[in-house]
Amino acid sequence: MSQRHVPVMLQRCLDLLAPALRRPGAVVADCTLGLGGHSEALLDRFPEARLIGLDRDKEALRLSGERLAPYGERATLVHAVYDELPEVLDRLGIARVQGVLFDLGVSSMQLDEADRGFAYAQDAPLDMRMDQTTGIGAAEVLNTYPAGELVRILRAYGEEKQAKRIVAAIVREREKEPFTTSARLVDLIRDALPQAAKRTGGNPAKRTFQALRIEVNGELSVLERAIPAAVKVLDVGGRIAVLSYQSLEDRLVKQVLAAGAASTAPPGLPVVPERYQPRLKLLTRGAELPTEEEIADNRRAAPARLRGAERIREDVE
């Protein structure tokens, strides 16, 4: 499993979280457990820390459970979506955590398992659900959503400039036969795009697949709730690190962390009251990028963007 999953920007994530996790009794939440690579490193580096690992994918929980079994009761793994962190902690009787890690996007396992339908490079059923026990898959989205809604999704979640052209082709083809597999969708997109659009930006299907995946899993709406919720359960002196892989995620993370690090006082106050003071201190200058060496070793690290912050003040009502 360690060969199959190379944790992205691992050393930098550990270094960002280290000052908070060296405390006795520290608790760290890995909100996107995946195959457990980051979690295993956290448990190794901070032998006094307890880990709470969340994942919506039951197969990921099973595999990471095997990987983290040697750590015994130091690792508690929970089937949950990452915006459910406060509820998970409440059930476990934990008031605050000292560290939070998010590694957003699709896990290595989901990309590598052909039957999950995440990868446009191999033919598979169009599913794309991170939790295969609930919700609708990508095929149902393609086959049932009105054309206008599909255009909105491709533009908003895939930043696809050719959304109208692609959706017109989808609607034409689904009337002949419903979509079931990824290869047919990839071929349709390739045929629908003008030559100039196919010459730039890698595989022409990647933006459509990204958009469908985000829609199927409600990723951005979940993330909008998840980052503020994580900050809320972070102890003073605690730290949060977030890895994102596309601009929509990174922009949202940036907005939440920047808002927490800004004063909310009206301009011109001679003394800023406590309730207007920033709650966070940013730990990264903008978004940090993986090194060229890491990208050479692990191509999936290439789009990664890392942001971190420290909780410096309690909320004041």
**Bind-site residues:** 36-38, 55, 82, 103, 110
Q: Which of 254, 298, 312 is nearest to 8 (CA)?
A: 298
CA–CA dist 116, 120 (Å, integer) = 11
CA–CA dist 176, 147 (Å, integer) = 16
Residues 6+ apart with CB under 8 A from 190: 198, 204, 205
CA–CA dist 127, 147 (Å, integer) = 20
Side chain identity, residue 226: A
What is the 8-class DSSP label of residue 306? E
**Annotation: binding site for S-adenosyl-L-methionine:** 36-38, 55, 82, 103, 110
Q: Which helix (H) or strand (E) holds 256?
A: helix 247-260
CA–CA dist 105, 32 (Å, integer) = 9
